[in-house]
Amino acid sequence: MKRRVTDFKKGGGPYVWITAYDYPTARLVDEAGVDGILVGDSLGMVMLGLPNTLGVTLRDMVRHTEAVARAKPKALVVADMPFMTYETSPKDALRNAAKLIKAGADAVKLEGGLEYALVVEKLVKAGIPVMGHIGLNPQRVLATGGFRMAGKTEEQKRKLIQDAKALRDAGAFAIVVEFVPPEAAGEVTQSVDVPTICIGAGPHCDGQILVLHDVIGLTERPPSFAKKYGDVAEAIRTAVSQYVREVKAGQYP
């Protein structure tokens, strides 16, 4: 049965999420039994070779969301809203989010807390489910000076909780908490009655999410918190190397 946003309730986890960016990987991760698939703007780094997510366009996200949706996954499909598609105004955010929904997403995700609560509220009132994202915001790397851990001080921790509550009040059905100390993630989780989904934030959230390419060994420099469960890179090298040898030796075709 197809997952719905209403299936993600506090206390119903742990929920397992992973990213996917195309038809074959969406099909495979869905068959593996994940609860949710994020079509992340991380595709800019792991698929397109960009240094960060800032160069990802709405057109990129629409195309990859369409590809994932064609796999008809049972998992909930959430599409990231890329940089500068929601920051300018709630009206712009609604127009851009609608394109991702029409591309096949079941919901959208945007980065930021209290400062974007009105945007979240606008989308939810229009019938577009929203997943929040606090802690490390990859789209803010220029302002923060890089991919730095958030929530290390008491002030930062209070801000995280404030952001989580603002997103909850605005109607977000779940909140990603990225790269914060485990104890801070635990306090955020306890402060809201919607599920929190951890990425690099320890075991105290209601679910976990990782980038697929980190999980299967396709990332050149994976983050320290990611666990590699397979080595697809070596499998590709082995298969293609054998192909090269056989063609050059006249053994194939």
For 196-212, write each residue's pLDDT tens digit.
Answer: 999 999 999 999 999 99
Which one of 66, 121, 178, 187 is the catalytic residue?
Answer: 178
**CB-CB contact of 215 with 232 (8 Å):** no
pLDDT for 146 beyond 90: no
The C-alpha R_g of the chain, in whole angstroms, comes to: 19
Q: Give yes or no: 178 in active site.
A: yes
Peptide bond before residue 24 is cis, with ω within 30 degrees of 0: no
Q: What is the arithmetic mean of pLDDT over 216-236?
A: 96
Q: Parallel, antiparallel, or unpaired for β 76-80 and 36-39?
A: parallel
Name the residue ranges covered by the structural domains of the chain.
5-248
The predicted model scores a pTM of: 0.97
Burial group, residue 174, by CB count within 10 angstroms (0-12, 13-18, 19+): buried
pLDDT for 168 beyond 90: yes
**CB-CB contact of 207 with 13 (8 Å):** yes
Task: Name the architecture of domain 5-248.
Answer: Alpha-Beta Barrel (3.20)
Residue range 74-99, pLDDT digits in tens: 999 999 999 999 999 999 999 999 99
Q: Whole-angstrom distance between the N-terminal and C-terminal Cα of the chain?
A: 44
